[in-house]
Structure 1
Amino acid sequence: MNCMTLKLIPLALAVASGLIVSASEGAAAILRTGFDSATLGANDDGSSMAVDIGFETNFFGRTNNQLYVNNNGNVTFESALNTFTPFDLTATGRQIIAPFFADVDTRNYGSSVTYGRGAVGGYDAFGVNWSDVGFFGGTEGRATNSFQLVLIDRSATGLGNFDIEFNYGNIGWEAGTFSGGDSNGLGGDSARAGFSNGTGEAGTYYEIAGSAVNGAFVDGSVTALASSSNIGEPGRYLFSARNGAVGTAEITAPVPIPAAGWLLIAGLGGLAAMRRRNTRH
């Protein structure tokens, strides 16, 4: 009996008690509203049918106007994907965009996966919301994750141009039990985040630093997805696809300055302004 078959057997017993992490109220502060006209029913390892994006994307030279929403934290273009243990995005033969590729189970916790068209800043967009989703092997009251993928039409700058946005609320787990995670969803073959066009050619794939590293993406880590960024906006990663190429410059979000530090900076700024005024003639 293989792992996939075993996963389809309902859990007969609750896992041993451990750390209880509740879904974070207002966890979706960084997540954009909307993109919820369709719902992927509660499931484990399921996918949508092919869904219209609403605009054309040029993804490393591959043109797409449809995609599959996969429960396990990713979208694919050629066919649905039910793989639950994340594979190396830098060596895959699949076209995939994955804000959080791990073993998502939405049959408990009040979880939901919704998707649909919308707009960002006046531009057409398509988004997927993984809201308070649990992990396979978890039980009610265990950690949940909230994250989002948004594709934004930028065809005004060139046919097929678009942006990829990863948005993160709370990230409380990183792996299901069939991926080696413990009863709290930690350890094992932990989540990966990034994308690939499936050719294996240099420059056509990318993983966010911390992918497959135990604990790296979880809240409280110095590299937690909900507090890191490549654009200086904690909880948000943005990648621009222009003429088929996708930019991957990564800039760590600035370390927050304590209140006392801001007071010092403000004081120094005031002194500098006074000096400028006093030296004018």
Structure 2
Amino acid sequence: MKSSFAFLLLVSGAVMNIEPTPEAALLYPYGLDQSDRKNPKLDDGTSKRLSLSVPFTFYSKEYRSLYVNNNGVISFDTKVKQYTPDPFPLVDGRPFVAPYWGDVDNVLGGDVFYRQTTDPALLKLITQNINQYFPSIPFTATWAFVATWDHVAYYGSTSNKGNTFQAVLTTNSNTSFVILNYKDIQWTTGVASGGDPKTGLGGTPAHAGFNNGDETNYYNIPSSRTEAVINITQTSNVNVPGRWVFQVDDFKVTGVPTEAPHAAASKSCWL
């Protein structure tokens, strides 16, 4: 269905809002000059299976490999080519981080970069940020994985709109965090998910959050799968507009009103 639409297209030519932070201060360095790799230009494409130099603990389980999926997902057990986001918790056991799960088409525009790193300068910056947001948790980053979706287009686009966002996984071998950065979000939905080709809006909007894979533990960032997700650059749980940060080894939600701690907290009344 999607491929036939692409052919026709080629032929036919409520979290508090706060002041934006400077873009340069939000995204961690990325790109080819940072020794990043790039995903193939492929609709619904993914990276190859990437072996991690250190284990990363997510919801109390250690993972030693992951995939960077074009459609805004970092997954641990299997590739995720699905383009229309389902609500969490998923019933099929897929554990993943979804910075912005939507129908990306990097053939039409943009790039998906990634790298794992022990660069001292980057780890120092990440450590400073985590210490600022979580002063009661002793943490010095010893490893990070940085994935960046740079001005990526949506499937079926007839516009120049692009989204730029980033997910950073980091650990000290005991405690793990995920940092989600949203620099520029201009669309929410691809055409195959019911979106408008001119605006990238409507249909089933993108989803941001975390899924453990056990059908019980998950977390939805407020506004996920609603039209308001386009405003995620203005919201935060650490008082930095466009940045969301979570401890994920034993998943904890901080800075966001919830119904109850642990698993039930993910069933947030915001959604």
Gapped regions of structure 2 (runs ≥ 5): 14-21, 128-140, 258-271
Q: 2:223 maps to what in 1?
A: 210
Q: 1:95 maps to what in 2?
A: 95
Matched, 1:188 2:206: no
Change in CA separation of 1:9 and 1:62 when aligned onto 2, cut-off 3 Å: farther
1:105-142 Cα distance to aligned partner (Å, 9 max, x none): 11123x11010023432621001010000000113x42
Change in CA separation of 1:94 and 1:6 when aligned onto 2, cut-off 3 Å: farther
In the aligned structure 2, how far is the partner of 1:8 from the partner of 1:78?
29
Using structure 1 for the length normalisation, give the TM-score. Answer: 0.74
Identity of aligned residues (%): 31
Matched, 1:133 2:152: yes
CA positional deviation for 1:11: 2.6
Matched, 1:154 2:172: yes
Q: 1:271 maps to what in 2?
A: none
Pick from 173, 178, 181: which aligns with 1:164? 178
In the aligned structure 1, how far is the partner of 2:35 from the partner of 2:191?
29
Q: 1:70 maps to what in 2?
A: 69
Q: 1:6 maps to what in 2?
A: 4
Q: 1:32 maps to what in 2?
A: 28
CA positional deviation for 1:46: 0.4
- Counterpart code for 2:29: T
Contact 1:28 1:146 in 2 (8 A): no
Task: Determine which structure has more spread, i.e. the larger CA radius of gyration.
Answer: 1
In the aligned structure 1, how far is the partner of 2:157 from the partner of 2:49?
29
DSSP 3-state at the match of 2:229? coil
Show the 5 A alignment for 1:235-274: 235-241=242-248, 244-251=249-256
CA positional deviation for 1:84: 0.5
In the aligned structure 2, how far is the partner of 1:91 from the partner of 1:176?
21
In the aligned structure 1, how far is the partner of 2:25 from the partner of 2:187?
19
CA positional deviation for 1:168: 0.6
Change in CA separation of 1:181 and 1:238 when aligned onto 2, cut-off 3 Å: same
In the aligned structure 2, how far is the partner of 1:10 from the partner of 1:65?
41
- Counterpart code for 1:33: P
- Counterpart code for 2:244: Y
DSSP 3-state at the match of 1:217? helix
DSSP 3-state at the match of 2:179? strand
Q: 1:59 maps to what in 2?
A: 58
RMSD: 2.1
Change in CA separation of 1:234 and 1:14 when aligned onto 2, cut-off 3 Å: farther
Change in CA separation of 1:190 and 1:28 when aligned onto 2, cut-off 3 Å: farther
Using structure 2 for the length normalisation, give the TM-score. Answer: 0.76
In the aligned structure 1, how far is the partner of 2:81 from the partner of 2:152?
16
Matched, 1:232 2:244: no
- Counterpart code for 1:154: N
Contact 2:180 2:243 in 1 (8 A): yes
CA positional deviation for 1:4: 4.7
Q: How many residues align?
A: 224
Deviates more, 1:189-198 or 1:56-65: 56-65
CA positional deviation for 1:59: 1.4
In the aligned structure 2, how far is the partner of 1:232 from the partner of 1:164?
16
DSSP 3-state at the match of 1:104? coil
DSSP 3-state at the match of 1:182? coil
